[in-house]
Amino acid sequence: MSADAAFEVVVADLLRQPGVRRSHALRAPLGRLETVGSATPSDAEVVAELVLEATGGTALVVEGTVSAPWRGSCRRCLDDVDGVLEADLREIFERRPTEGETYLLGEDRVDLEPMVRDAVALALPLAPLCDEDCAGPAPDRFPARSSEEEPAAPPRDPRWAALDDVHFDN
Ligand SMILES: [Zn+2]
């Protein structure tokens, strides 16, 4: 099967058996998908773990998860940051889809790729952080939080401790 059709599934038998659920684990690179703050590497494999079920013989319910690696820049320090996104989905495929709401169901097969692309694009982080505590580009020169703290009191000179025990008789 070519990568182009990696997310295409024959569903003729499912459409004849409404209510029967069938699992599919599909994986293939989908090229670079991007948003403002991050993108999938173009050769990264997108994985979809899906359950397909026909309803009424003319529509298909698809639910499951998609996951994909992503890369981006930390919004505070601009260092490279990467991760793996995972998104739940539940979508309807039908013969005459409604734009923006349902997807196209073919005669005897369904192409799940548009749905997988949408789910990945929506799950990409818009403003990633390398770390929740990232302090920015130069934390030593621009302390993020210590500037308002009082400097700690210097430790008491131990030599004075001896005087604590001295009592003067008047
Ligand atoms: Zn950072």
pLDDT at 143 over 70: no
CA–centroid distance, 143 to ligand 1, in Å, is 14
**Is 48 part of a structural domain of the chain?**
yes
CA–centroid distance, 11 to ligand 1, in Å, is 46
Pairing of strands 80-94, 103-104: parallel
CA–centroid distance, 67 to ligand 1, in Å, is 23
**Is 76 part of a structural domain of the chain?**
no
**Is 149 part of a structural domain of the chain?**
no
Residue 50, strand partner residues = 24, 64
**Is 62 part of a structural domain of the chain?**
yes
**Is 17 part of a structural domain of the chain?**
yes
pLDDT: which is higher, 128 or 147: 128
CA–centroid distance, 69 to ligand 1, in Å, is 18
**Is 102 part of a structural domain of the chain?**
yes
CA–centroid distance, 34 to ligand 1, in Å, is 20
CA–centroid distance, 135 to ligand 1, in Å, is 7
Residues of the domain holding 90: 3-28+44-68+81-118
The model carries a pTM of 0.77
Would you state the pLDDT for residue 16? 94
**Is 16 part of a structural domain of the chain?**
yes
Q: How many domains does the chain have?
A: 1
The arithmetic mean of pLDDT across residues 101-122, rounded, is: 96
The segment with the largest mean pLDDT, out of 16-20, 60-64, 76-80, 135-139, is: 60-64
Q: How far is CA 71 from the centre of its chain?
A: 10
**Is 143 part of a structural domain of the chain?**
no
Model confidence pLDDT, tens digit, residues 13-52: 999 999 999 999 999 999 999 999 999 999 999 999 999 9
Q: What is the DSSP string of the chain?
A: --GGGTTEEE-HHHHTSTT-EEEEEEEEE----B-SSEE--TTPEEEEEEEEEEETTTEEEEEEEEEEEEEEE-TTT--EEEEEEEEEEEEEEESSPPTTT-EE--SSEEE-HHHHHHHHHHHS-SS--S-TT---S-TTTS-SSGGGSPPPPPPPPGGGHHHHT-----
